[in-house]
């Protein structure tokens, strides 16, 4: 069953374009390391105006391999250090979660 890491972020006012450049950069890193990333804009519901970044792997084994690849990736580590050191980031993390696909039928 597929495993999805979900990151919900709220871009700061006037910073959406800057945030999306970061998302595109992360997307290239994620893809290179075995994840499939999609980005969702929340139009209505409990957290309108947030962006959901979803990284999917095929199962727990692939999830473990993907995470090991990410941890070893120098570009990913540099990106995390860069974002973590910003005093005024382009977006704020609202929540994170890991979801696992359930079989139907």
DSSP state of 12: P
- Does residue 3 sit within a domain? no
Cross-strand pairs, 3: 57, 100
Q: Which domain holds residue 65?
A: 8-100
Indicate if the pLDDT at residue 102 is higher than 90. yes
What was the pLDDT predicted at 96?
97
pTM of the predicted model over 0.75? yes
At 44-91, the pLDDT tens digits run 888 889 999 999 999 999 999 999 999 999 999 999 999 999 999 999
Q: Kindly state the tokens that stand for 89.
A: 């980031």
Percent of the chain with pLDDT over 70: 100
* 19: CATH: 3.30.70
Q: Per the structure, how many domains does the chain have?
A: 1
Report how far residue 40's alpha carbon sits from residue 46's, in angstroms, rounded to the nearest whole number: 14
């Amino acid at each position: 069953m597929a495993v999805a890491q979900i990151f919900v972020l709220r871009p700061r006012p006037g910073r959406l374009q800057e945030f999306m450049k970061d998302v595109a950069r992360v997307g290239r890193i994620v893809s290179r390391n075995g994840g499939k990333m999609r980005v969702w804009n929340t139009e209505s519901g409990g957290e309108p105006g947030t962006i959901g970044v979803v990284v999917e792997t095929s199962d727990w084994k692939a999830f473990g391999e993907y995470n090991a690849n990410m941890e070893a990736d120098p570009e990913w580590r540099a990106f995390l250090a860069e974002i973590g050191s910003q005093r005024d980031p382009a977006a704020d993390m609202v929540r994170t979660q890991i979801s696992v696909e359930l079989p139907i039928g």
